[in-house]
Amino acid sequence: MTRTVSIAQARQGDSHTIKEVGIPSLVLMERAALGATGRLLNGDFDLTNVLVFAGTGNNGGDGLAIARMLHVRDIKVTVMLTGSEDRTSTETAQQLKSLHYYQIPVIPASTNLAGYTTIVDAIFGVGLDRPVGGKFADWVNAINASSAKVFSVDVPSGLNADTGEPQGATVKATATSTFAYAKNGFVTAQGKQYTGELFVEDIGVYLDDHYEG
Ligand SMILES: NC(=O)C1=CN([C@@H]2O[C@H](COP(=O)(O)OP(=O)(O)OC[C@H]3O[C@@H](n4cnc5c(N)ncnc54)[C@H](O)[C@@H]3O)[C@@H](O)[C@H]2O)[C@@H](O)CC1
Ligand SMILES: [K+]
CATH of the domain at 31: 3.40.50.10260
CB atoms within 10 A of CB 154: 26
Residue 209 maps to a domain? no
pTM of the predicted model as reported, rounded to 2 decimal places: 0.97
State the pLDDT at residue 2.
82
Residues within a 6 A CB radius of ligand 1: 14, 18, 25, 28-29, 32, 55-60, 62, 89, 124-132, 136, 153-155, 179, 203
Domain residues for the domain of 29 are 4-201
Residues that place a CB less than 5 A from ion ligand 2: 59, 121, 152-153, 157
213 located within any domain: no
* pLDDT value, residue 139: 99
Cβ burial, residue 38 (10 Å; 0-12/13-18/19+): middle
Specify the ligand 1 atom closest to the Cα of 180.
Answer: 44
Q: Which residues, other chains included, contact 212 with Cβ-Cβ below 8 Å and sequence gap of 6+?
A: none
Phi/psi of residue 106, nearest 5 degrees: -120, 115
Q: Which amino acid is at 9?
A: Q
Q: What pLDDT, on a 0 to 100 scale, did the predictor assign at position 208?
A: 82
pLDDT of residue 161: 98
Low-confidence residues of the chain: pLDDT under 70: 1, 210-213
> What pLDDT shows up at residue 213?
45
Question: Which amino acid is present at 99?
Answer: L
Query: 102-112 pLDDT, tens per residue?
Result: 999 999 999 99
How many whole angstroms from 83 Cα to the centroid of ligand 2? 15
Beta bridge partners of 122: 54
Residue 150 belongs to some domain of the structure = yes
Q: How far is the CA of 4 from the centre of ligand 1 (A)?
A: 19
